[in-house]
Structures are given as C-alpha cells and as structure tokens.
Structure 1
C-alpha cells in the first residue's frame, strides 16, 4: 500500500511561492493502477518524485508499504565515467539482484550491444534512456513509477 496523507509541495518562485500540490490524499493498494493526467506544470512529475522519495513533501506524509521503482527511464544517477555494465553492477549491489540474470536481460532488452562496455559519457541521450529503462524494469519492484516513458527510444525499442 502507498498512502498520501495531506501532501503539499511548495517551491520557491520569483515573487513568492508556487504551490504545486495542495493537500493531496489517496491510497493505492497492491495491484491497483492509477494514471495522473494534466497539463504541463500541474504537478505530475513532482508527484512521481515525491512517491519515489527523490523529494520530500513540504507538508503531509507519504507511507510506503511496498517497494517502489525510481521513475522509469530516469538515468540521472548514472556515473558517466563508468561503463553501462559498471552502472548495472552497482544497481545489482544496491537492490540485491542477480548480476548475470540482469546483465542478460539488459543486454537483450536495451539493444546497446558493445556500448554496454563503453563509458556512459559516450552514450547518446537515446542510448542512456534505453539503458535506464532496461535497468528500471529489470529490478522486480512492487510498484513502477512511470513519467512520460512513451518517449523512450526509437519505434523498435518502444515495441519491446
């Protein structure tokens, strides 16, 4: 279960404060799915970051009683001087995953081939996104956080 109890998120803005989420409440039980729709600036990505624990609410509480992924396709935590495989090994250590199984899955799913053995800093943005997406779904979380993931990769990759 994930429970948001009176969650508010406020950011400093020119001339004052910007309230992005205001007194949000909901409970998401295991197996349920929700979609959040709204225009740019409505707080969708902020909500994802709060759920993931990347940011903290200004007020209120978030209770997590299941494992949540990082936002799918988020590659912001990659160490760019390390190879894709080195980053994969790090994720395996953090989440206690079987490295050989994850490597086989990420190798096949990402389609990066020899680039897995190259430093992340030589990857194109699309290659980084494909690696991030493959790593995201290779870890078995109870709940996956998806924020505009449709834009990841070319058409062949999206079909996978």
Structure 2
C-alpha cells in the first residue's frame, strides 16, 4: 500500500494547571493516496499542528496507528524540525543529510532563497519568527519531494 494511513489516532496533552489531560485528537482516521493534496484548517487549539507532527513522525500518538507507505516531507511551516542551537546553515546541512540529498546544493539553494545573509550563520534560536519561516520555506523549496 502506497497510502499514508492514520487509524483511530488519539492524542492528549497534560493540562498545566490542575489534573487531567486535554484531548486534542479523538479517534481521527485519514487516508491520503499518492497524488492527492490536502489542507488542514481549524481554529487555534483544534489540533492542526499536532496532526501534522504525528504525520511527520516527530510526535507519537497516545493510541492508534500510522502507516507511511509514501515519502512524507516535513511541513513547510514546521520550524520544530530545527535544532535551535545550530545555525541555519548547519540545520540545512543536517536536514539535507537526513533526506539523502546533496548537502552543498541544498545549502546554496537555501542561502539564495531565504535571503538571511549573515544570519544564516547564527543560531536558529536567535531568529525572529519571520526569519525562521524563511529558513523553513527555503528548505522546503530546496529539497525535491
């Protein structure tokens, strides 16, 4: 099967004040077939980022199964893929290695597209949200999925 399949995904997070957990995803099932394009929309706190993180594999559901029968790229807006103590350049190198693409070509593409100048050699934790978004989008453009 070449589909991305989520079956009965359940995810909770602890409530900061008080006892218990906040249910964010409750029995979510989804099938994405090759060639399909999906958008995830909803109000704040609806679980959009949570489902994206579960799809990408960076977050584990409390229960349910995820079958990735196709390659899954990291989401364009998902800056959580970056290591905050590394520079933007080092993060680009790391992600290029993880995805098995040419490191120098990827870094050159990110450098040209993100237009971060000398900030590309600064730790990502010093970036503004706009700079982080530029780096994330540049990486998404530099790696062919």
The TM-score bracket by the shorter chain reads 0.7 to 0.9
1:53 matched to 2:54: no
Higher relative contact order, structure no. (Cα contacts within 8 Å, ≥ 6 residues apart):
1
**Distance (Å, rounded) in 2 between the aligned partners of 1:15 and 1:81:** 33
Alpha carbons of structure 1 residues 101 and 36: separation in structure 2 relative to 1, 3 Å: same
TM-score by length of 1: 0.75
Number of residue-to-residue matches in the alignment: 141
Q: Which runs of 5+ in 1 are unaligned?
A: 142-160
**d(CA) in 1 for partners of 2:80, 2:56:** 14
Residue from 8, 11, 20 that aligns with 1:9: 11
* Deviations 1:18-42 (CA, angstroms, capped at 9, x unpaired): 2211111121001101222222222
Aligned-residue CA RMSD (Å): 2.1
Unaligned 5+ runs, structure 2:
none
Contact 1:83 1:116 in 2 (8 A): yes
